[in-house]
Amino acid sequence: MKLILVMVWSVLFFSGLAGAAGGGYTLSKANIDGTNAESLQRGAKIFADRCLSCHAATFMRYNRLVDIGLSQSQIKQYFIVDDSVKVGDTMKSAIDAATAKQMFGVMPPDLSVVSRSRGADWLYTYFVSFYKDEATTTGWNNLIFPNVAMPNVFSQEQGVLRAIYATDDKSSLSLERETQGSLSARAFDDSMLDLTNFLVFMGEPAAEKRKQIGSLVIIFLIIFAFMAWAVKREFWKDVH
């Protein structure tokens, strides 16, 4: 009995710790749809245009974008910016490690499978939670990644957010809009959901296929179980 109590207590304790690891902020739910090809295509375009300057996605090849409904010629037209990049190449970063280290103090991590470690909700919340902070090197900070070395790449579209401290205690802050961005709040949110959707796709490109095959296997097993039961009944009829 004591052992069970200790086990229950440790589960509660450690799940509490896991919650606190997010900095105490609740993550916004990322309502993404992995079957929405248009959303994935918009996300891929944002990723290629705005992230590959610093980050790489070395597990992702440009020509695998056919999986989100793009044709080879569309991939060439929208994603291959110069002749040094081939359509079968992996997505490399434009910045080299030494320069990145000098500029940011860290190498921007490879984003191929970041959705597996961080999860969709974390990524979406991260993208919409950058705020102006003169105290940091880049001039930006982030609610769920305090003192992040990444600058806010979407301040044009989102507008500039400022932190408001609810009390003297710096741990409870909320964000307030200082300037308007070129996109409405709704449109900006949607584009960040598209981006999150694409990052989740990259983390497991075969996820949708896996779910489809999974459903088919379950249906097959149900039908097969019924047939096996019918055959068994037929055989045992003579035994009785």
- For ligand HEC, which residue of 26, 53, 74, 171 counts as binding (CB under 6 A)? 53
- For ligand HEC, which residue of 48, 123, 144, 202 counts as binding (CB under 6 A)? 123
User: Strands, E, within the chain: which ranges?
Assistant: 57-61, 90-91, 130-132, 140-142, 161-165, 173-177
Hey, which residues does 165 pair with through a beta bridge?
173
3-state secondary structure of 188: helix
Dihedral (Cα; 86, 90, 92, 97), 10-degree rounding:
-130
Find the binding residues for ligand HEC in span 20-49 (CB under 6 A). Answer: none
The answer to whether residue 106 forms part of the interface with ligand HEC (CB under 6 A) is yes
> How many Cα atoms within 13 Å fall on the side-chain side of residue 60?
30
- For ligand HEC, which residue of 30, 32, 48, 51 counts as binding (CB under 6 A)? 51
- For ligand HEC, which residue of 44, 55, 130, 161 counts as binding (CB under 6 A)? 55
Q: Other CB atoms closer than 10 Å to residue 133's CB: what's the count?
A: 16
Nearer to ligand HEC, 22 or 151 (CB): 151
Nearer to ligand HEC, 4 or 99 (CB): 99
- For ligand HEC, which residue of 56, 114, 193, 200 counts as binding (CB under 6 A)? 114
- For ligand HEC, which residue of 118, 140, 141, 194 counts as binding (CB under 6 A)? 118
DSSP 31-91: ---TT-HHHHHHHHHHHHHHTTTT--EEEEEGGGGGGGT--HHHHHHHH--STTS-TTSEE
Shortest distance, CB of residue 161 to ligand HEC, whole angstroms?
16
The answer to whether residue 150 forms part of the interface with ligand HEC (CB under 6 A) is yes
86 to 66, 68, 81, 193: CA distances (angstroms): 15, 19, 10, 28
Q: How many residues bind ligand HEC (CB under 6 A)?
A: 20
The answer to whether residue 185 forms part of the interface with ligand HEC (CB under 6 A) is no
The answer to whether residue 183 forms part of the interface with ligand HEC (CB under 6 A) is no
- Interface with ligand HEC (CB under 6 A): 50-51, 53-55, 104, 106, 108-109, 111, 114, 118, 123, 126, 148-151, 153, 195
